[in-house]
Structure 1
Amino acid sequence: MLEEVVATRYVTPLREGGSLPGIVEADDLGTYVMKFTGAGQGRKTLVAEVICGLLARRLGLRVPELVAMELDPVIGLGEPDQEVQELLKASGGLNLGMDYLPGSIGFDPLAYEVGSAEAGRVVWFDALVNNVDRSWRNPNMLVWHGDPWLIDHGATMIWHHNWPGAEASAAKPYDASDHVLASFRPDVAAAAAELAPQVTEELLTEVAAQVPDAWLVDEPGFVTTDELRRAYVRPLLARAAGVHERITLGKRTERPASRAPGWLTEPARPWPHTAGEKNEDGSAR
């Protein structure tokens, strides 16, 4: 199982993430980014973080160290933000901690260069786990000490939201056209030759074994947590062998037109407004 630590102080929320992760200090004197079981995405997000994060680390990709963090909701009593208080109250017990990388900054493909070999390994790995959340819009990568690090794997293995279709999903293609590293000419073939042989049943079983039982219990269709762990292994093992042949690197999509209302996107008009002015659609201003 993952190393377990105990949260000792909630420092601050990270509002960039939709699940409202937070920076938390622990009894091992470490500082972590905590993701909570009580967040809207639920515990499956944490399962995906563990399996994919640990698998990436085993394959030599840079992912911050992961731990299981025991949280006593009493920590949140002094938190002034009601939303954070409710999240902490709903997340008592084991949560996920990701080692905090102090001084890291968000990866920008216009500011940093990545070699085709490393880009290929990342794209191949994301195709393996069907990561839909490492695009140019939302890179989910950090730069720390000059190196790119991969974070946020909660939106991977989408088949675990529909287990009856999990086996069929292993054969589905992966469109990497919008991948944040697509412009770096990723050498996917070389990555497959290097990494695919390492993705064995033994490795996947070892990684799945690190997921705490508390995040696996009561899954519909499964009698035991070990049975559920084996269900995670099968699609990944089947997908590893040939997913490189089903990776598409086409033209990047453009930003869609803004759907925000005109009053938010149009330039502000000088005050005072002229009485009776109307917008182009005839509505009063």
Structure 2
Amino acid sequence: MKSEFNLRTVNVTRYIIPLREGGSLPALAEADDDFKYVLKFKGAGHGVKALIAELIGGEIARALKLRMPELVYANLDEAFGRSEGDEEIQDLLQGSQGLNLAMHFLSGAINFDPVVTTVDPLSSSQIVWLDAYITNVDRTFRNTNMLIWHKELWLIDHGACLYFHHSWTNWEKHAQSPFALIKDHVLLPQASQLTEVDAAFKVILTDQILTDIVNLIPEDWLQWEDTEESPEELRSIYLQFLITRLKHSEIFIKEAQDAREKLI
């Protein structure tokens, strides 16, 4: 059966500007399809694991019909960046040759401000559910990682989710654990429909859909130096983590509901 999840591959043609300071140094870049993208580099910070998290988190959001800019594989040629004047950026580009990940740039979008914009209970519950499921630590008042584009709410930046893979031990325990950091979620106060959303989303996220999403991980992102597991074994663990966590969703739902009660 053909998967409905397919990412295009583009070739990066121009590095425009770094988007913010920090370990990951994402950049605004242009590709050979003439579109602009927010480019995430495998040579930065947490390396390919951040790209894997971005890919899985973003495509799960898309499967749940939440608004997500298109993700694409972004190929960096070995000659790319040689003319870059900033030595740190040149090192980053040289260390990121091959496949990286990029997100379609939403030109004119503004950062979501919870003081200015109120999100309805259903949408809030859907986003809180997603972030509790994928253990996304980055959707707080300090860093909402949401944009308003054409008066609609869009989700961005899931590179900090699935943080169990940074230690890669006891994944079964992590899969069945609550997500205590959900208490800091920017939309938690409005998330009054978590039980209903949980029931609906568990129907959508079939084993096949999760398999198709995990199978999007490029083989060369699974060549880890700090593990003896093969790419196939690593891919299997990601899938089993997602399936197990979904099967035990009542654990992270209760944590979110308890945290919400303390806020309201």
Identity of aligned residues (%): 44
Higher mean C-alpha displacement, 241-250 vs 45-54: 241-250
Give TM-score, length-normalised by structure 2: 0.90
Higher mean C-alpha displacement, 142-151 vs 174-183: 174-183
90, 103, 118: which is aligned to 1:98? Answer: 103
Q: 1:16 to 1:142 in 2, by over 3 A?
A: farther
Counterpart mapping for 1:95-244 below 5 A = 95-175=100-180, 176-218=182-224, 220-223=227-230, 225-241=231-247, 242=249, 243-244=252-253
- SS of 2:60's partner is helix
Tell me the distance in 2 between the aligned counterparts of 1:185 and 1:34.
31
Q: 1:154-178: CA deviations, max 9, x gaps? A: 1111111233311111121123221
Structure number with greater Rg is 1
Question: How much has 1:150 moved relative to structure 2?
Answer: 1.0
Question: How much has 1:16 moved relative to structure 2?
Answer: 4.9
Tell me the distance in 2 between the aligned counterparts of 1:23 and 1:73.
19
The yes-or-no answer on 1:8 pairing with 2:23 is no
Tell me the distance in 1 between the aligned counterparts of 2:36 and 2:126.
29
Aligned length: 251
Q: 1:53-90: CA deviations, max 9, x gaps? A: 11110111111111111102433233222221111111
Q: Which runs of 5+ in 1 are unaligned?
A: 253-285
Moved over 3 A (4+): none
- SS of 1:78's partner is coil
Q: 1:17 to 1:55 in 2, by over 3 A?
A: farther
The amino acid of 1:222's aligned partner reads E
Matched-pair contact (CA < 8 Å) for 1:2–1:211: no
Compare the two structures and name the one with the higher helix fraction: 2
Higher mean C-alpha displacement, 145-154 vs 175-184: 175-184
Q: 1:93 to 1:160 in 2, by over 3 A?
A: same
Q: 1:238-281: CA deviations, max 9, x gaps? A: 111323233242456xxxxxxxxxxxxxxxxxxxxxxxxxxxxx
Q: 1:198 to 1:17 in 2, by over 3 A?
A: farther
Matched-pair contact (CA < 8 Å) for 1:123–1:186: no
Q: Which runs of 5+ in 2 are unaligned?
A: 1-5
Question: How much has 1:200 moved relative to structure 2?
Answer: 1.8
Q: Which residue of 2 aligns with 1:256?
A: none
Give TM-score, length-normalised by structure 1: 0.83
- SS of 2:45's partner is coil
